[in-house]
Structure 1
Amino acid sequence: MTDRDDLDMLAAEFVLGTLEARERAAVAVRRQSEPDLDEMITAWEQRLSALADEVTPVTPDPELYQRIAQHIDALETRQASVGTDSHDQSNVVSLHKRLRRWQWSTALTSAAAMVLVAVLIFQPAPEQGPQSFVAVFQQNDQQPAFMLSVDLNNRQMQIRPVTAEPMQGKSYQMWIKADSLGPNPRSLGVLNDNFELERAALRDYDPELLKEATFGISVEPEGGSPTGQPTGPAIHGYLYPVADGASEPSH
């Protein structure tokens, strides 16, 4: 490893919190006068800061680290009592380095695992194809008066007149009825002079509810029902999926 690699590892250990208190204090002082070190610490903080928002802090089990530290302390005590030769000293130094590398590797592996979890959790779900449905509004065996098309992916609707014609002093009003909405139908709006209804009129309704609902169009006084409920004759329709071989209503 180059000196710059060692410095980058030191910066990473500082950010990850694996340095001892004395070493951490020394690095904090050094970064004030060493622009390269300060830049590396800032870079590691930016890389890892987002992880703190995605995971719950967990206190690691200290037993393994304690056993390693106790073993090193025992070697140092033995060296102090019987004298230190160069071979023993190198072993202790090697163990210290291995302990430091173990701390670093464990922290880095944990960080990588958190990144992987974040990717798996927050990656966007596969986009589904359009879910198109149509409803036909007709009474008995007469020609359809209206046709309604609905895209359940974005809950947008479009209504098209077939045989329906404008009526002087009257308005057509659309309704929706479902068990989960209570006993009374709810208004989806009044069709304008071009037989148009707001495309986002279904935005507050769950797609599964829409597939099971009954839709109605009633003839009301101009401007819509004054009571909030249908007051004139109504024709009803149900959503049918637009798919090859789909011949049954969705409920």
Structure 2
Amino acid sequence: MSEAPDLSEAEALAAEHALGVLNARERAAAETRMATDPAFAADVEAWRNRLAPMLDSVASAPPSPELWRRIERLLPANDNGALMNRLKFWRNSAMGGFALAAASLAAVVVQVNQPPVTIEKQVPVSPQGQLLSASVVSQDSRVQPLFVAAYDPDRKSLIVTSLLPEGSERDKVHELWLIAGQDKPKSLGLVESGKAKVIALPTELLAKMADGAALAVSLEPPGGSKSPDGPSGPVIGVGKLSKL
């Protein structure tokens, strides 16, 4: 198995932030970086512009009736005793808060006296190539979506998001394949359940990423397929690339 090279850390983070697959901590860190790193902010906006058409192809899913009841069970009850305890805590903390405010004010004065930092805004480059997308669906009677993918020809990269529960492969791994024409399937690397991955495609595969080519996912032993001819395990999902 030959795995495609990954994008740089910054490119991958920008793509994942634009796709909305980061957790709360990672998302906060990405937003902080956007505020201080114009190049990174431009990368995020470029990915958002490129991936925006995918939203039109994703059907909305209404929440289950049980969802609100679960939320209500997680909310704290109206407990006056607990409220009074919180009020006592904040009253006892007030004097300490005054001291903290004074220290914060001093820090602000120091910051004001520092020379201003100029951040130049970088305008994202308008996309030139045609974005392709694919929905990799199961091959049984249920026709269940398993993965979604988008190919950005400008950045020569493929972003793949798993719709399966995290860790669902257990002692197996999912391997992504490109099927173009009569060629043998080409491995694009491993993709984890419940996660997104940005894959920088090797040069020899760029021309094969076209409308009508297909992506497939097979279930393989750890490390992926050892067969030079393609998947060694069952193919669990297939989807054709098409223009958005």
Q: Does TM, normalized by the shorter one, top 0.5? A: no
Larger relative strand fraction:
2
- Which structure is larger by alpha-carbon Rg, 1 or 2? 1
Q: TM-score, normalised by structure 1?
A: 0.40
Larger relative helix fraction:
1
